[in-house]
Structure 1
Amino acid sequence: MHYNKEKIMLKYTKTNHIKVCYNKMRLSAFLCFTVISMALTESVNIKSLVFSAETDTSYVEMVPQKPLAIKAFTLCMRVATELKGEREVILFAYRTPSSDELNVWRELNGRLSLYLSGDPVMFDVPQLGALETHLCVTWDSSSGATTLFMDGKKSLTKIYRKGHAISPSGRVVLGQDLDSFQGGFDIKQSFVGEICDVNMWDSVLSDSNIQDIFSGKRVPRGNVFDWEITELQIHGEVDVVKREL
């Protein structure tokens, strides 16, 4: 039987070229998957703030990465406190010269509340305690939809402050409630406990993104506050410890 050697060589070359390309594609896909997996599971060392005692002098001011002129947000933090039902506790305070623009509280009765320049919306949820809780609050002006997440679990949706806008040029403080733009702190409203990983976006994140943040996966960082790079100005007796997230 007669064979055309040139055709056989061409066929052999094409076949091997296809195999080489296929193997390269498999290797490339494997490496890509490995890099993504490592990125998703990579641990990060972050600062954690410990407020050991009631004071009217200890607080941490956060410097935003962009002005808080926003009509939607997602605010997340990790928090632990042993002040159970003894008094109200401020968790996050943002104030402009004219008003309290955005406050998050643990109320005296244990409910968690969000204040946007007026009366609050409240959520009846499990009490905060010594075991760390991952807490997120979301709000959208266009619909008024407001929700709360605790350790990745979503609350019911409440309608609050539809059409409202949050104003810029304010101060964001952890540990104290700003009764005035300069301060005016009340010792019986101060935060006592540990707080860290405070991040804020000027949009409402999806439920799955919030659940990923709770579980420690790497997601796009906050564009208003990114805890890993946000400047923190420490005042008074606040201990800063390093921890792995």
Structure 2
Amino acid sequence: MKLSAVLFLSAVSTVLAGQTLVFPTQTSTSYVEMTPLKPLNLSAFTLCMRVATELSGEREIILFAYRTQHYDELNVWRELDGRLSFYLSGHCVLFKTPELGPMETHLCFTWDSSSGAAAVFVDGRKSLTKIYRKGHVIRSGGKVILGQDPDAYLGNFEAKQSFVGEIGDVNMWDTVLSDSTIRDMFNGKKVERGNVFDWESTQLRTNGDVVVVNREL
């Protein structure tokens, strides 16, 4: 690896507050690996991010991927028909929501194993609740990436499923946050940082054509 690339990766691995990731083009090589603060052995979660893309209505888009050696443990998608979904080691739960577009959207996905309750929040507004994978547990020991859908452990990427656009403020908790907390987060208020992923401190490793952009807070 060239020295310049090493320095770039080192810079990306520092504080990310006020920064976003831009994936400028469709590729099968560009992605970002995220290092969790704790193992992803989860019986509940809240996953939030800010997303903008101009691919709306054209094709499916991977928004978040967590895969172990044998399973897609948690994958989040914008489906071909515009619906949002997430998959927990099998079939998905789907939500009909306002479509993503070039203007930034704040997304949160929530799920609780004890009840199976699953929901999505778009710019602070909650969808209806659906019941999905009651009693399931997300297993640890895998890799989390942004930008690609791994059909094998950190590999077998397809350009037509890659993320193109801007993504940032990716935070994850091992609990379901309250509706009011998610609304506060959308409105830019300070909330307790994610204990699985905290965008202000999570280490990232970029691969391929990914640009880190500073933004005003």
TM-score by length of 1: 0.81
Q: Measure how far apart 1:129 and its partner are.
A: 0.1
SS at match of 2:215: strand
SS at match of 1:205: coil
Residue number in structure 1 paired with 2:112: 140
1:117-161 deviations in Å (ceiling 9; x for gaps)? 000000011110000000000000000000100000000000000
Residue number in structure 2 paired with 1:4: none
Residues in 2 aligned to 1:244 and 1:92: alpha-carbon distance in whole angstroms: 24
Residue number in structure 2 paired with 1:155: 127
* Structure 1 runs (4+) greater than 3 angstroms displaced: none
Taking only the aligned residue pairs, the percentage that are identical comes to 68
Higher helix share: 1
Residue number in structure 2 paired with 1:221: 193
Residues in 2 aligned to 1:228 and 1:67: alpha-carbon distance in whole angstroms: 18
Q: Measure how far apart 1:98 and its partner are.
A: 1.1
Residues in 2 aligned to 1:114 and 1:234: alpha-carbon distance in whole angstroms: 24
Does 2:93 match 1:121? Answer: yes
Q: Measure how far apart 1:244 and its partner are.
A: 2.6
TM-score by length of 2: 0.92
Calculate the aligned-residue CA RMSD, in Å: 0.9
Structure with larger RCO (C-alpha < 8 A, sep 6+): 2
SS at match of 1:211: helix
SS at match of 2:160: helix
Alpha-carbon contact 2:23-2:147 (below 8 Å) kept: yes
Alpha-carbon contact 1:49-1:196 (below 8 Å) kept: yes
The residue type equivalent to 2:58 in the other structure is E
Alpha-carbon contact 1:74-1:136 (below 8 Å) kept: yes
Does 2:20 match 1:48? Answer: yes
List gaps (5 residues or longer) in structure 2.
Answer: 1-15
Does 2:63 match 1:57? Answer: no
Higher-Rg member (1/2)? 1
Does 2:206 match 1:234? Answer: yes
Written as runs of structure 1 = structure 2, the 5 A alignment for 1:90-109 is: 90-109=62-81
Alpha-carbon contact 1:45-1:244 (below 8 Å) kept: no
Matched length: 202
Identify the match of residue 185 of structure 1 among 151, 154, 157: 157
Identify the match of residue 148 of structure 2 among 172, 176, 182: 176
Q: Measure how far apart 1:45 and its partner are.
A: 4.4
